[in-house]
Each structure stands twice: as structure tokens, then as C-alpha cells.
Amino acid sequence: MIDAVTVRVTGLECFGYHGVFPEERENGQRFVVDVEMELAELASTQSDHLADTVDYEAVAETVATVVGGPPVDLLEHLASVIADRIMEEPRLAGVSVTVRKPEVKLAQSVTETSVTLRRSR
């Protein structure tokens, strides 16, 4: 018996103009997004039809549209907007969105900053 199905889109690179500082909004930068979606319905495990699951391409397009859209200050807010848009898909029970900022400008050396947000029905 299958209890749950999780669909992931990992490492999606998008360009956007988000951040608190003026140079972030003027120059823009690369954001990397991971999306993990839990299916509410498991029909796709039996049917093998795209219509019974979440479409990866549509998810990637949604993420790219949000990241490329109007600027926000905080990664938390950006992750929330992405999650809200993805949860419009009725086949989902929940979504986890991680937004990473690899070129963050800090006084200290870091690989990236990131935020993970989880939404569920």
C-alpha cells in the first residue's frame, strides 16, 4: 500500500530583483529554488497519466514567474508567494519551498543564505 507520494523539483535557477538593498533590486541576482510537493491523491501511481499528478514543467514555470516578478524584500515572503501559487494545484496536500540566495553579500564568507517554508491543507 502506498501512503504518500512526494514530487520534487530541485535546484531550479531563476533570476530576480529581490532584497533589502538597492543594489539587489537594481542589479538582480540568481535565486535557486527547491520545491517538494506531497500529493493529496495517489491516482497517478495506478493510472500513469500526467493529468493525475502535478506537472513539473508547470511548477517550474510558476516558480520562474514569481521569482522574475515584482520584487520583495525578504526570502521568507518570496517563499510564501511561491508556496501560495503552487498550492493552487488541488492535487496537493502540502508543499515545502526552499529559496536560496547564492550570491549574498555579507561581511563574512558564506556559501548561501536560504529559507524553507512549508504549507499544507
In the chain, domain spans:
6-120
Rounded CA separation 61/87 (Å): 14
Is residue 105 part of the annotated active site? The answer reads no
Rounded CA separation 58/106 (Å): 34
| Region 6-120: CATH code | 3.30.1130.10
At 74 the pLDDT is 97
Mean predicted confidence (pLDDT) in 39-63: 91
Q: State whether residue 6 is helix, strand or coil.
A: strand
At 50 the pLDDT is 86
Q: CB under 8 Å to 29, separation ≥6 — which residues?
A: 15, 16, 17, 19, 101, 103
Of the listed 101, 111, 112, 115, which one is catalytic? 101
Rounded CA separation 89/37 (Å): 10
DSSP 3: -
Threshold 0.95, pTM exceeds: no
